[in-house]
Structures are given as structure tokens and as C-alpha cells.
């Protein structure tokens, strides 16, 4: 699933090609993805100028005067800027045509993504109640300590709760906890402030690095085999159960907490 760095990389990649351009038409090759595509996408977008491309959590927002088109890439979706005459393939579900002669194409093989509408001045239900961005000033050790106080839930669960902080998915939660030396099952309320400060720093550093890597290795937002070209991740624990820890050599263990697989080092993480 595209995580925050992949979504942010996509935002940065498409923005220079769509900002300030007027939408000349919208082609919907199916009426729905995960949810029905609202009629405003087809009826209200043509003629509008794209004033901004924003990211909130793992959602991309294309802002026009009357509102915002909200895009979620689901499990395997991608957004690409292509020539207007680029032939559509089986999973190319939406084309947003621009006055530049290009199209912004949404591809979603599994159809777990979404294309929704947010009227100007309103906040879509999916965006209400979301926590702060992990790279924003509002997410700091004081905030995390106050949020974790008294909680018996595992710290990894807390990090993956979108009401607490957005966009820290399974991969980056596991990697940040390893870097901070915190066991993923440790009760959130029993972690001292100094360790939480290390955790916040680890989250920021890993996400920022992943975004930089994505920006340098993504090519046209699509690789030759048709799969999204997300950055090659340099992982210490995620997906490495049974392998030696890169720091201490201890065999990494795996466990399922909250129906999510977690890999950790029993020596480095306490």
C-alpha cells in the first residue's frame, strides 16, 4: 500500500504539471472505485483551474474554486501525467484532461482507492478527526506524551491510529520503533518522555528520508512493467523476520498484534 512518503512523492511529482492548468474534461471509465464517484467530479471539475495540490494524511486534494477532488491510491493505485493520446489500459479508470494537452490519469488495479468530492468551505467526513501530520510542528514529544499518558495499548497501535497521528503506516511505525529502541508491544503510557522524544525524532527522520529517496528514484510515476515505481526501501526490521538484526546480529522475531504483523529485535528494542 502506498504510504505517506509515496503519496507525498506523487504530490510533488504531479504538482508542477497540473498547477495553474485548467481542466478541460473528465473521463470516468467506471462509476465507482472503493465508493461511488460523486457526480461533481464529472460535472463540476471541467472548466475549473487547479489552484493547489495538497496532501492530508494519505489523501491527495486537487483544489479548484468550487471545492476539492480527493484522491486515495488504495492498495496499488497511481497518478500519472501523460500525453492526451496515451492509450488507456484495463485499470486506467479516470482521466482528468488539462489545457496543456496532457491528462492526469488515475490507475487502480484493485479498486481499493477512491475519488471523492469536498465542496469549498467544507471538510469531508474521511478527513474529519484526523490527527496532526507527523512532519508538522504539532506532532512533538509533548503531544505524544500527553496522548500516551495512561494508555495500556501497545505503542505501535498508538502510532498507527489516524486520530493520533496520520500517515505512519505499518512499515514506518516498525522502522521508527526500531530506531528509537522501543519494543512495539510496550504499553504507550509506560514509555518515558525522553524515549518518546527519540521516537518522534525517529519518525520524522525516517519519513523525511523516505520522501527524499522517493523523489530521487521515482521515474514518471510508473516503471516499465506497469507497477508503481516506489523507492527501494532500506529496511532494518519490516519484512525481515528470521533474519539477523543489522545492528546486533540477533535473529529478528515476528508477532501479530492487532491483526498486523510486526517484526522487531528482542535485543535492541525494550
94 has a pLDDT exceeding 60? yes
Residue 37's pLDDT band, with cuts at 50, 70 and 90, is very high
- CATH architecture of the region 4-119: Alpha-Beta Barrel (3.20)
What is the rounded average pLDDT of the residues 220-239?
58
What is the rounded average pLDDT of the residues 72-83?
91
- For the chain, domain boundaries: 4-119, 141-264
Task: Please say whether the beta carbons of 167 and 4 come within 8 A.
Answer: yes
65 has a pLDDT exceeding 60? yes
Residue 67's pLDDT band, with cuts at 50, 70 and 90, is very high
120 is in an annotated binding site: no
157 is in an annotated binding site: no
- Active site residue ranges: 2-3, 58, 260
The predicted structure's pLDDT at residue 258: 65
Q: Which of 163-177, 209-223, 226-240 has the lowest mean pLDDT?
A: 209-223
**CA dist., res. 98 & res. 95, Å (int):** 9
**Beta carbons within 8 Å of 80's beta carbon, 6+ residues apart:** 14, 104, 105, 107, 220, 221, 222
Residue 233's pLDDT band, with cuts at 50, 70 and 90, is low
**CA dist., res. 171 & res. 173, Å (int):** 6
76 has a pLDDT exceeding 90? no
Is the pTM higher than 0.85? yes
53 has a pLDDT exceeding 80? yes
What is the rounded average pLDDT of the residues 239-263?
91
In 67-208, at which residue ranges do the beta strands (DSSP E only) sit? 67-72, 78-83, 92-98, 102-107, 114-119
Task: Please say whether the beta carbons of 154 and 184 come within 8 A.
Answer: yes
Residue whose entry in the numeric block shows the C-alpha cell 506497469:
226
Helix, strand and coil content of the chain, in percent to the nearest 5, comes to 25, 25, 50
- Rg (C-alpha) for the chain, rounded Å, is 20
Residue 219: how many CA atoms within 13 Å on its side-chain side?
Answer: 7
Give the C-alpha distances (Å, rounded to integers) separating 3 from 39, 90, 241.
28, 24, 21
The predicted structure's pLDDT at residue 230: 45
Q: Which of 58-62, 108-112, 231-235, 254-258 has the lowest mean pLDDT?
A: 231-235
Q: Is the dihedral of CA 194, 197, 199, 201 positive or negative?
A: negative
134 has a pLDDT exceeding 70? yes
**CA dist., res. 6 & res. 207, Å (int):** 10
Closest CA to 177 of 202, 146, 204, 150: 202
34 is in an annotated binding site: no
Residue 211's pLDDT band, with cuts at 50, 70 and 90, is confident
Q: What is the mean pLDDT of the chain?
A: 91
Task: Please say whether the beta carbons of 23 and 14 come within 8 A.
Answer: no
> Domain 141-264: which topology?
Helicase, Ruva Protein; domain 3 (1.10.8)
186 has a pLDDT exceeding 60? yes
Amino acid at each position: 500500500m502506498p504510504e505517506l512518503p509515496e503519496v507525498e512523492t506523487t504530490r510533488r511529482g504531479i504538482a508542477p504539471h497540473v498547477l495553474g492548468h485548467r481542466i478541460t474534461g473528465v473521463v470516468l471509465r467506471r462509476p465507482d472505485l472503493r465508493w461511488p464517484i460523486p457526480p461533481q467530479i464529472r460535472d463540476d471539475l471541467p472548466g475549473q483551474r487547479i489552484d493547489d495540490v495538497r496532501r492530508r494524511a494519505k489523501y491527495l486534494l486537487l483544489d479548484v474554486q468550487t471545492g476539492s477532488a480527493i484522491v486515495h491510491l488504495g492498495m496499488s493505485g497511481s497518478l500519472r501525467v501523460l500525453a492526451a493520446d496515451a492509450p488507456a489500459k484495463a485499470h486506467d479508470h479516470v482521466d482528468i484532461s488539462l489545457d496543456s494537452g496532457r491528462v492526469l490519469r488515475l490507475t487502480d488495479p484493485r479498486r481499493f482507492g477512491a475519488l471523492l468530492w469536498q465542496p469549498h468551505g467544507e471538510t469531508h467526513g474521511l478527513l474529519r478527526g484526523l490527527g496532526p501530520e507527523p512532519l508538522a510542528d504539532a506532532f512533538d514529544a509533548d503531544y505524544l506524551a500527553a496522548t500516551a499518558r495512561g494508555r495500556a495499548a501497545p505503542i505501535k497501535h498508538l502510532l498507527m491510529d489516524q486520530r493520533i497521528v496520520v500517515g505512519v503506516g505499518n512499515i514506518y511505525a516498525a522502522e521508527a520503533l526500531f530506531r528509537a529502541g522501543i519494543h512495539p508491544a510496550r504499553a504507550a503510557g509506560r514509555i518515558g518522555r525522553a524515549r518518546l522524544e527519540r521516537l518522534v525524532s525517529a519518525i520524522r527522520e525516517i519519513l523525511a528520508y523516505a520522501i527524499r529517496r522517493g523523489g530521487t528514484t521515482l521515474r514518471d510515476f510508473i516503471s516499465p512493467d506497469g507497477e508503481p515505481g516506489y523507492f527501494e526501501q532500506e529496511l532494518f526490521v519490516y519484512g525481515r523476520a528470521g533474519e539477523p538484526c543489522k545492528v546486533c546480529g540477533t535473529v529478528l522475531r515476528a508477532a501479530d498484534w492487532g491483526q498486523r504483523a510486526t517484526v522487531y529485535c528482542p535485543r535492541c528494542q525494550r
